Amino acid sequence: MKLFSSKSISWKVMTGFGIVVLLLILISIVSLIRLTDADGHFKDYRSLARQTVADGRVQANMLMTRIYAKNFVINASPDNIKGVEQRAKATLEMISEARELCIDG
């Protein structure tokens, strides 16, 4: 501690202030790097979330198609035939949309 005892108070204060400023700059640089990295991870997450939602919609429509087909087997009505056709068509369209998301993502 004899190293600092011979220095003046103003030198000690300025040295302490300089150290705090250097630490602030270091923290700012690290934060900027990590924030940029987090932005990339968020973009990946968003892409995966959109793909998951698209896959869920395909699955939901496929299940509705199955329900209409089951109802058709039980009761062969025009409403059930129409339901199967509409849901199957919607499912095929959603599959192509989901594929595009997977290719783009």
Residue 70 lies in a domain: yes
Could you tell me if 91 and 61 are in contact, meaning their C-beta atoms sit under 8 angstroms apart? yes
The answer to whether residue 1 scores a pLDDT higher than 60 is no
Q: pTM for the whole thing? A: 0.59
Mean pLDDT of the chain: 87
Residue 53 lies in a domain: yes
- Predicted pLDDT at 14: 93
Rounded Cα distance between 92 and 102, Å, is 15
CATH code, domain carrying 46: 1.20.58
- Predicted pLDDT at 84: 85
Q: How many Cβ atoms are within 10 Å of 47's Cβ, its own excluded?
A: 14
Rounded Cα distance between 12 and 102, Å, is 60
Q: Please give the distance of CA 76 from its chain centroid, rounded to a whole number.
A: 44
The answer to whether residue 58 scores a pLDDT higher than 80 is yes
- Predicted pLDDT at 34: 93
Domain range holding 88?
41-104
Question: How many independent structural domains does the chain possess?
Answer: 1
The answer to whether residue 11 scores a pLDDT higher than 60 is yes
Cα 11 to Cα 7, 45, 66: the distances in Å are 6, 50, 81
- Predicted pLDDT at 69: 87
The answer to whether residue 105 scores a pLDDT higher than 70 is no
Residue 3 lies in a domain: no
Mean pLDDT to the nearest integer, 45-67 = 88
Q: What is the DSSP track for 62-101?
A: HHHHHHHHHHHHHS--HHHHHHHHHHHHHHHHHHHHHHHH
